[in-house]
């Protein structure tokens, strides 16, 4: 199960407070409202824990009837997660007669981070390697294992428990994110992890705990509770105003490339501010020059059953019959059965051209210019 309490300097928010130390204390002033996404993720972790224990022959109570977000997709994800961990364990047994596996293990990394603790989804120790496996149910942002500070903190906490018991030389962190088809791992030397903890982590964690240091905005602002009101983030995004919204044709290539790198952050910030202002207005706050009105709405039936009966009595057919969409059909059949029955009838058209940073994993498209050059 996920941890019952939450540390001020939690591992899951470590990317943010390491880049922006004062944000840790700043966020304390905000209520933790939670979200449907978080609730769904909690249910998914609970199911993953149960399915993994089942796979390993560990007695556990079936939690499904208490899971509000349970569905077939979540079941498939949990089964895939359990299979992945079992495969890691079986691989470990090839070189180690007695690998150690722990599920939902509480770890304490307060040696480096004040009051720092968390819960690792799964820990496997074998043949000098400490493995940390982290399940991610989200399908919005792809999570990387490389340089993952959350898993680095879990690794430090696990080393605090086991480094004196087992001869550990390396740490391997795994991200299992099935809804993004993202299963990745990253290996590091134990000595390198300790070096990072002693030279960088400790200092920044102390600053964050004391509410000191410099504000800094970036991708880590995404889940910050203060993101809509943060002055540092506003200043960074408003810096685009120096272009004075000139016609793009008047900007040089370097300026356009610079703007492209900031547009996503700018639009996200603008959306956050607008949503914050709306929620405050709904709560009674008045903004100078603005008023709260009813948005547009569409007509809808008060009772579909009554509508169907009325239309049928008039001699018409109120229903339409059509094949379920791909996603709905996969949910109906299950992933395996879906592939067995429908694989020959599924195609994926070429996607609409999209500009992305060079770091994006997708291959570059052939443009009309490239096609022309290839002909000569």
Residues 192-216: tens digit of each pLDDT: 999 999 999 999 999 999 999 999 9
pLDDT given at position 2? 38
User: What is the per-residue burial (b if ≥16 Cβ within 10 Å, else e) of 314-332?
Assistant: eeeeeeeeeeeeeeeebbe
Is residue 228 scored above 70 in pLDDT?
yes
Which residues 6+ apart lie within 8 Å of 28 measured at CB?
8
SS3 content of the chain, % helix, strand, coil (to 5): 50, 10, 40
- Distance (Å, whole) CA 66 – CA 70: 9
pLDDT in tens, 64-80: 999 999 998 999 999 99
Which residues 6+ apart lie within 8 Å of 33 measured at CB?
none
Give the tokens for residue 99: 């690998």
- Percentage of the chain beyond pLDDT 90 is 53
Angle between helix axes 253-282 and 231-238 (nearest 10 degrees) is 140
- Beta carbons of 243 and 259 less than 8 angstroms apart: yes
Which residues 6+ apart lie within 8 Å of 368 measured at CB?
none
237 CB-contact burial (10 Å; exposed 0-12 / middle 13-18 / buried 19+): buried
* Residues 144-154, mean pLDDT to the nearest whole number: 95
Question: DSSP label at 67?
Answer: -
Helix (H) or strand (E) holding 191: helix 190-196
Is residue 376 scored above 60 in pLDDT?
no
Which of helix, strand or coil describes residue 323?
A: coil
- Distance (Å, whole) CA 236 – CA 228: 13
Other C-beta atoms lying within 10 Å of the C-beta of residue 301: 9
Q: Which domains does the chain have, with CATH numbers?
A: 14-210 (3.90.320), 227-282 (no CATH), 315-345 (no CATH)
- Distance (Å, whole) CA 201 – CA 188: 16
pLDDT in tens, 317-370: 999 889 988 988 988 898 889 999 999 999 888 888 888 788 777 788 876 555
Quickly state the pLDDT bin for 279 (edges 50, 70, 90): confident
* Residues 157-185, mean pLDDT to the nearest whole number: 92
- Beta carbons of 93 and 140 less than 8 angstroms apart: no
* Residues 108-117, mean pLDDT to the nearest whole number: 94
């Amino acid at each position: 199960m996920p941890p019952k309490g939450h540390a001020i300097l939690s591992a899951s928010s470590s990317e943010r407070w390491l880049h922006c130390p004062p944000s840790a204390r700043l966020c304390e002033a905000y209520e933790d409202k939670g979200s449907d996404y978080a609730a769904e993720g909690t249910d998914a972790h609970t199911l993953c824990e149960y399915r993994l224990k089942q796979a390993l022959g560990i007695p556990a109570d079936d939690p499904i009837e208490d899971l509000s977000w349970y569905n077939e997709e979540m079941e498939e994800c949990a089964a895939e997660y359990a299979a992945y961990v079992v495969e890691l364990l079986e691989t470990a047994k090839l070189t180690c007669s007695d690998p150690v596996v722990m599920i939902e293990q509480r770890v304490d990394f307060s040696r480096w981070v004040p009051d720092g603790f968390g819960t690792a989804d799964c820990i496997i120790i074998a043949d000098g390697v400490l493995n940390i496996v982290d399940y991610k149910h989200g399908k919005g942002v792809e999570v990387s294992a490389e340089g993952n500070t959350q898993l680095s903190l879990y690794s430090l906490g696990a080393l605090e428990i086991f480094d004196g018991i087992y001869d550990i030389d390396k740490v391997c962190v795994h991200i299992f994110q099935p809804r993004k088809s993202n299963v990745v791992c990253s290996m590091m030397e134990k000595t390198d992890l300790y070096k990072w903890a002693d030279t960088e982590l400790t200092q920044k964690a102390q600053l964050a705990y004391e509410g000191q240091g410099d504000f800094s905005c970036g991708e880590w602002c995404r889940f910050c509770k203060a993101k809509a009101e943060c002055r540092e983030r506003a200043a960074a995004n408003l810096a685009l105003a120096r272009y004075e919204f000139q016609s793009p044709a008047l900007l040089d290539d370097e300026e356009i490339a610079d703007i492209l790198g900031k547009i996503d952050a700018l639009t996200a910030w603008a959306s956050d501010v607008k949503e914050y202002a709306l929620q405050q207005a709904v709560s009674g706050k008045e903004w100078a020059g603005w008023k709260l009105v009813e948005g547009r709405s569409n007509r809808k039936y008060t009772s579909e059953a009554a509508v169907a009966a009325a239309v049928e009595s008039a001699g018409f057919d109120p229903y339409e019959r059509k094949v379920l969409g791909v996603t709905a059909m996969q949910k109906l059949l299950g992933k395996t059965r879906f592939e067995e029955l429908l694989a020959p009838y599924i195609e994926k058209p070429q996607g609409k051209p999209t500009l992305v940073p060079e770091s994006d994993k997708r291959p570059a498209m052939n443009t009309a210019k490239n096609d022309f050059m290839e002909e000569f």
